[in-house]
Structure 1
């Protein structure tokens, strides 16, 4: 917030991706301070200086087009098992608002379609990890450019997420070792989304839900998105605001783990996607969210320096337990514990005038 005007802060994170020597220390201190303020006031940050080149992003966007242009029968072959968070998710098969225990309006599920990849058990060969938590990826043979382009982008944005996390460590004063011990076998996933419906396939008088109101589950999210209206975030005063990335920028937001570690001094901001309807048709919108979730057995509990008068807002929980509780809400309609505060904020929210 600046003079009571809502804005998502823009931060150049290049000092954390360039020279790691002490010669760059002052620039890193400035970046960490900017991030600390943004995380306390908004919970969303626009990131520039991230170092991901245009060719990687353009190739990735083309790969999304290639896959989502396939027919429904072909895409359905790549649906992953329930709870696996892998492969294809067709429209209207999930409701993200149920991760907060909020039923969708008119009982309509979110209309977006998605494809998800993530870290596999083989990515950590030195560890005995549960394959159900680190499942195999599904790669569509009918979209030949998709695997390589997606993998290239995924590795690039993974590096960005780590750089931002090291900046967060400095901002919080906990040092890198605190987070290094929590991400050395991180669950990291990349969810690629496509928002579009055939013309006049819905009743425009009803509320249309692109992606229901929710918080993200892990540590932080790095979002690439088309410059198309739709993304909205809920401020601390209970008002929804439209957010759109600048050309070439990423949007970064905090997840539940960071809010729990900081005892809610940093914000896991509620957000949703509610795309515009133009002449009876949803305008095309693509996005891709990289989730840095942390080790499945990492414990999330308030850091002692963020606890005032012994008041811990959250009980300890593992990364996997938190994720499973949210997914159970999305897929099974089971309300997660400790979601009432966020649910009440969404139900009382209003749009910006």
Structure 2
């Protein structure tokens, strides 16, 4: 898929003329698709493999065991099948997504219960897979550092002399979802219009995805090409921007629209696990959209991050 650019963030971190070239590639790539493949990120394949292996052990537990950790969308723990339909975020009534999820998130409580009960719930850790806690703690810390670098790089890509996110993400409301996409023998024949994840855009600033390729895998939508299989590079992470960053960019960069296909007839026993890090800002961060000529429009009002994201989370919860 030619619309998705591959960039090397290590060249940007090194500074100099190479960094300027990368920044230009970022701007061009995000204008086309809202997606990038990011190499040179410094996160080892071994760490992701260990997280994935521990997650598979959890997902293989009996349903009655996983029910001890049951949660709904936006909470921490096990979000079982039938709980989520991402197509609703676009106003499309679709059958539930064919997946299950284990979710963790930021637990840096503010002391305000009305805030903490939504954005900073305590994480739930399965006693049956004790290694998952340590592995995910290390993994999400590295994801946060990468996401901060991505936001700084995005600001540079637009020629901004200062990073506007410096004071907006010291207590971010990130979430990390591990999605399990079971095989056809487990989920049954998909209903019409049913996906592993229905068509949608993400809601926050950046999403960092470590994925397994597959026939029933990730597809990306562009106006020029329609739906196409997302490119896969084993040395790269897949990064897309969400609705909040699109809004901040003054609609210069489209929020990356995507979906995950249902199990396919040519690979009915395909069983995939994706690690998905959703990065948002502080719950009370005020996002002031860029105006023309950097942005494409100049009539967008400031928004509060939590209000903006929560509205979209509620829309996909069944």
TM-score, normalised to structure 1's length?
0.82
8 A contact 1:220–1:292 mirrored in 2: yes
Give the conservation status (yes or no) of the 8 Å contact 2:252–2:296. Answer: no
Could you report, residue by residue, the CA deviation over 1:228-272 in whole angstroms, capped at 9, with x for unpaired residues?
231011102361011142112100001111110112111102111
**Contact 2:51–2:135 at 8 Å: present in 1 too?**
yes
Asked whether the 8 Å contact 1:188–1:291 carries over to 2, the reply is yes
> What does the per-residue CA deviation read over 1:39-71, in whole Å, with 9 as the maximum and x for residues that have no partner?
111211001111112321221121111211111
Matched, 1:294 2:281: yes
Q: Distance in 2 between matches of 1:200 and 1:194?
A: 12
Determine which of 8, 14, 18 is the counterpart of 1:12: 8
Are 1:29 and 2:20 an aligned pair?
yes
Give 1:58-97 correspondences, 5 Å limit: 58-80=49-71, 82=72, 84-97=74-87
Residue of structure 2 equivalent to 1:101:
91
Paired with 1:288 and 1:75, the residues of 2 have a C-alpha distance of 19
Q: 2:105 aligns with which of 118, 127, 139?
A: 118
Pick aligned residue for 2:202 from 213, 216, 224: 216
Matching of residue 252 in structure 1 with residue 242 in structure 2: no
In the alignment, which residue of structure 1 is the partner of 2:156?
170
Contact 1:301 1:317 in 2 (8 A): yes
Whole-angstrom CA distance in 2 between matches of 1:323 and 1:78 = 24
CA contact (8 A) 1:111 1:210 kept: yes
CA contact (8 A) 1:86 1:135 kept: yes
Structure 2 distance, partners of 1:37, 1:262, is: 13
CA offsets 1:279-320 (integer angstroms, 9 cap, x no match): 6835211111111111111123421345779742x4432111
What is the SS of the residue equivalent to 1:94? coil
Residue equivalent to 2:135 = 149
Structure 1 gaps, min length 5: 333-353
Indicate if the aligned counterparts of 1:195 and 1:282 stay in contact, CA closer than 8 A.
no
Contact 2:281 2:305 in 1 (8 A): yes
Using the alignment, how far apart are the partners of 1:128 and 1:201 within structure 2?
A: 38
- 1-side partners of 2:96 and 2:252: how far apart? 32
Whole-angstrom CA distance in 2 between matches of 1:129 and 1:183: 20
| Structure 1 pair 68–128 and aligned structure 2 pair: CA distance change class (3 A) | closer
Change in CA separation of 1:43 and 1:83 when aligned onto 2, cut-off 3 Å? closer
Residue pair 1:36, 1:172 contacting (<8 A) in 2 also: yes
Q: Conserved in 2, the CA contact under 8 Å of 1:263 and 1:306?
A: no
Identify the residue that residue 115 of structure 2 maps to in structure 1.
130
2:278 and 2:124 mapped to 1: Cα distance? 18
What pairs up with 1:136-285 in 2 under 5 angstroms? Answer: 136-197=122-183, 199=185, 201-203=187-189, 206-229=192-215, 230-237=217-224, 239-278=226-265, 281=268, 283-285=270-272
Deviation at 1:204, TM superposition (A): 5.4
Structure 2 length-normalised TM: 0.91
Superposed, which structure 2 residues align to 1:36-55 within 5 Å? Answer: 36-55=27-46
Aligned residues: 316
Distance 1:43 1:228, change over 3 A: same
Secondary structure class of the residue paired with 1:194: strand
Contact 1:11/1:47 (CA < 8 Å) preserved in 2?
A: yes
In the TM superposition, residue 184 of structure 1 has moved relative to its aligned partner by 1.3
